[in-house]
């Protein structure tokens, strides 16, 4: 049985679209069962609907109501009984309420732990690094502090600006996320400290969620 995946987006959903395409292969091991967003105007919602995937929105209402928003988002996600939640360009910090529903996987445009936060590409350029890249990691309650699952390096070329570098990172990170989600779904995983190891523990948790 394929692992059930809920994808969270805030914008165009290009990475989500790559996951939807991969999930059409029965051997991929994961099925996208819903796409959610914090923005009713997110263009990726229309893409998901066109693909026949249920969508939902839970608009963010401000810091003062963050706990209530997290609880409502958690409830919406839980209704789809996911084995994994994938944050694919979802620009909100998720609270414990959401993290307790299912493991959350996030894609970040830098080689963590370097350059966490919302301006990773800009920060890497400002620091003058020669190599940056993309990281797939599990989400915890910090900002890009969860255990690293996989990473791919991208060289910073002379004359790069933020847009050019980010586009080259995007070209590799979609493939990285698709490969990582499929591997987690097919093989499971276990955590040893901060090390993510292949194994059955993730699959066992997935069975418990069903």
The catalytically annotated residue of 108, 119, 127, 166 is: 108
Give the pair of three-digit tokens for residue 94: 């998720």
CA–CA dist 32, 97 (Å, integer): 21
Write the DSSP assignment of 168-185 as a string of letters.
HHHHHHHHHHHHHHHHHH
Total residue count of the chain as it appears in this document: 210
* Residue 108 annotated among the catalytic residues of the structure: yes
What Rg do the C-alpha atoms of the chain give, in angstroms? 17
Is residue 74 within 8 A of residue 36, CB to CB? The reply is: no
The number of beta carbons lying within 10 Å of the beta carbon of residue 125 is: 19
Is residue 37 within 8 A of residue 16, CB to CB? The reply is: no
CA–CA dist 33, 137 (Å, integer): 21
Using a 10 angstrom Cβ sphere, with 0-12 exposed, 13-18 middle and 19 or more buried, the burial of residue 62 is exposed
CA nearest neighbour of 134 among 104, 181, 162, 171: 171
Catalytic residues: 108
């Amino acid at each position: 049985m394929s692992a059930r995946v809920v994808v969270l987006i805030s914008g165009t959903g290009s990475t989500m679209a790559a996951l939807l395409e991969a999930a059409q292969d029965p051997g991929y091991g994961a099925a996208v069962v819903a796409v959610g967003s914090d923005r009713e105007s997110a263009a990726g919602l229309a893409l998901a609907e066109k693909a026949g995937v249920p969508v939902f929105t839970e608009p963010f209402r401000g810091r003062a109501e963050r706990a209530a928003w997290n609880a409502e988002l958690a409830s919406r996600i839980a209704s789809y009984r996911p084995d994994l939640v994938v944050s694919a360009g979802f620009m909100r910090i998720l609270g414990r309420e959401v993290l307790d529903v299912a493991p959350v996987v996030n894609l970040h445009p830098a080689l963590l732990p370097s350059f966490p936060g919302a301006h990773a590409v800009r920060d890497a350029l400002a620091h003058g690094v020669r190599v940056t890249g993309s990281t797939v990691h599990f989400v915890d309650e910090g900002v890009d502090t969860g255990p690293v699952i996989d990473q791919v390096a991208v060289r910073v070329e002379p004359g790069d600006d933020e847009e050019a570098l980010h586009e080259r990172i995007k070209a590799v990170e979609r493939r990285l996320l698709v490969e990582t989600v499929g591997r987690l779904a097919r093989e499971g995983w276990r955590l040893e400290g901060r090390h993510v190891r292949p194994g059955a523990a993730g699959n066992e948790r997935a069975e418990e969620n069903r």
